[in-house]
Amino acid sequence: MPIPLPNAALLSIDSLCVGYPQQTQTTVWAVDHLTLSVQPGECVGLVGESGCGKSTIGRALLRLLPAGSQVKGSIQFAGQSVLDLSEQEIRTFRGEQIGLVFQDPMTRLNPLMTIKDHCLETLQVHKPHLPKEQAKSQVLAALAAVNIPPERWTQYPHEFSGGMRQRVAIALTLLLEPKLIVADEPTTSLDVTVSAQILQELTRLCRDRQMGLVLISHDLALVSEYCDRVAVMYQGKMVELGTAEQILKSPVHPYTQSLLESALHLQAEAVLEKPKAEAAPVLIKLESLQQHYDQSPTLLERILSKASSRTIRAVDDITLDLYAGETLGLVGESGCGKSTLSRTILQLIRPTGGRVLFNDIDLTQLTPRDLRSYRRELQMIFQDPRACLNPMMKVGQSIAEPLLIHGLATPAEAEIQAKKLFARVGLTPAEDFYDRFPSDLSGGQLQRIAIARALITHPKLIICDEPVSMLDASIQAQVLDLMQDLKDEFNLTYLFITHDLWVARFFCDRIAVMNQGKIVELGTTQSLFENPQHPYTQTLLQAAPLLTRL
């Protein structure tokens, strides 16, 4: 592979057009005449709404587009045409020259392989002659760079949280030390502290190794903090390109201006009157709740290292009251136990200790049959709506299904109620959406479907597990405003799990900070932001990227 000359661009994209396979004869360009370059040691950010073509660009750089896609223009990397590489050359090129960090790590991780196997296999494929001890050393160094303890490398992907899996995906990319990294929403599911550490590490590597970085994100604050230049994408076109200072201080294109206003809106303090939660009755009471997992070593590990079993305290003796009608935010780093706590509250997993009281009924003591009658009152909105919607079912059927499961309506009545909810969550006309499949909808539309599905049984509590983390700022603001309106209309109570502190400040009445399975601080949103008491809370606030007009 040729080495770029001094001052020459590491990556040059000229008039790139990408069209996905279509049923019709007319080609719809997902990327339309993009021209962009990346210098050695430079970090370039790509921002824009979902569906604007950001991820398509990343896949085009590594020729990972579906068969039948149309590509025009040129992609030059280190002086060589990427589009002209042979199949054998492109296999070596991927990973060694350009590394790609996917948004969803489960698309890259084999559920039947341990993290150790994933990492060693990657090294063996690209560096077959590397000694085993050196390979192990490189793997552990890459995992340490993303804060994964060495003792966890023998675990499987399902034993990691979403944020921990994303760290593994980043470590796999760093292993081969590529000359350019394309990071597609690499920190979407990570908390602010780990996100800051990883991006600081990536940008440091850019400078030290003269490595290029293309950072794809919907987070304008994050991109402006870590990138040298920012490219704004809209409907497949790059509508604006400039330094972070230029984009924030004097945006030219109307879409850039609206994106900036949406981001500033989210980071502004909510002007809504916050209710006094203590005046309301307690809806959910957690008493010394525990969720522990015993991790036993294998027979070989016990023989070789005399390792003993250890206990992972995912939820460690939590006592907490959630008041009717409030929005309680739950923040903390990935792997701290937030999602485990939510699933324990819903009794999707039974606790190893403690009680969960819902309107003074101890859910932990109910039989599965008795518990089912309470399911309709306790619902959940998941982080990734694609993962909780059946891809073979029309979205209208997915929304109506809970009514049929609980015997609350006939099929005809369920369809009528589902269509009413379509309109209520902003998917109008309902007839245009009811018979579509999840693959036909954008990320923002799918999140609205997930919200409607949670609302259809008229629950009292909705647990929201990172419901807007995968959405761009403009769609985030729309969805959060919608959720607030629905809360008032349906008298809902929210447990709102997020790693985005600005979203939590915007949306929540109180905030609980979780670290290593424990609640380390709890208070009103205003008091927590103005006078944080716990050192971990102070660290979170200091690490959160703040968007300001420069």
Residue-wise DSSP of 245-308: HHHHHS--SHHHHHHHHHHHHHHSPP-SPPP-GGGSPEEEEEEEEEEEEEEPPPHHHHHHH---
Within-domain flag for 337: yes
> Is there a domain that residue 516 lies in?
yes
d(CA 234, CA 463): 32
Q: Is residue 358 part of a domain?
A: yes
Q: What is the pLDDT of residue 273?
A: 44
- What does the alpha-carbon distance between residue 487 and residue 483 come to, in Å, rounded to a whole number? 6
Collapsing DSSP to helix, strand or coil, 11 comes out as: strand
Q: Is residue 535 domain-resident?
A: yes
Total residue length of the chain: 550
Rg (CA), the chain: 24
Is residue 407 in a domain?
A: no
Complete DSSP assignment for 308-358 = --EEEEEEEEEEEEEETT-EEEEE--TTSSHHHHHHHHTTSS--SEEEEEE
Is 258:474 a contact under the CB 8 Å cutoff? yes
Total tally of structural domains belonging to the chain: 1
C-alpha neighbours within 13 Å on the C-beta side of residue 106? 12
286 is a domain residue: yes
Residue 381 in tokens: 């909105």
310: number of Cβ within 10 Å? 12
159 residue type, one letter: E
Coil, helix or strand for 166? helix
What was the pLDDT predicted at 1? Answer: 41
pLDDT of residue 350: 92
SS3 string, 34-88, reads EEEEECCCCEEEEECCCCCCHHHHHHHHCCCCCCCCEEEEEEEECCEEHHHCCHH
Residue 442: inside a domain, yes or no?
no
Output the six-digit token pair for 444: 């923002």
Spatial distance between the Cα atoms of 444 and 255, rounded to a whole number of angstroms? 17
The first and second tokens of residue 214, run together, are 């293309």
Does some domain include residue 98?
no
Q: How many whole angstroms separate alpha carbon 379 and alpha carbon 452?
A: 11
Reduced to 3 states, what is the DSSP secondary structure of residue 420? helix
Residues 6 or more apart in contact with residue 159 via CB below 8 angstroms: none
Residue-number span of the structural domain to which 295 is assigned: 281-299+317-377+492-544
351: domain CATH number is: 3.40.50.300
Q: What is the pLDDT along the chain (550 residues), one digit of tens a residue?
A: 444 444 578 999 999 999 988 755 677 789 999 999 999 999 999 998 777 888 899 989 999 988 888 999 999 999 899 999 999 899 889 989 999 887 766 667 888 999 999 999 989 888 888 888 899 999 999 898 888 888 888 898 888 876 778 888 888 988 888 999 999 888 776 777 777 777 887 888 888 888 999 999 887 888 888 899 999 999 899 999 999 889 988 999 999 998 888 777 767 654 344 544 456 899 999 999 999 887 766 665 566 555 566 778 889 999 999 999 999 999 987 778 888 899 999 999 999 999 999 999 999 999 988 898 888 899 999 877 877 888 899 999 999 999 998 888 999 999 999 999 898 888 888 888 898 898 888 777 888 898 899 989 999 999 998 888 777 777 777 888 888 998 988 899 999 998 888 888 889 999 999 988 999 999 999 999 989 999 999 988 887 776 654 3
Dihedral sign computed on CA atoms, order 359, 364, 365, 371? positive
Look at residue 272 in the predicted model and tell me its pLDDT. 43
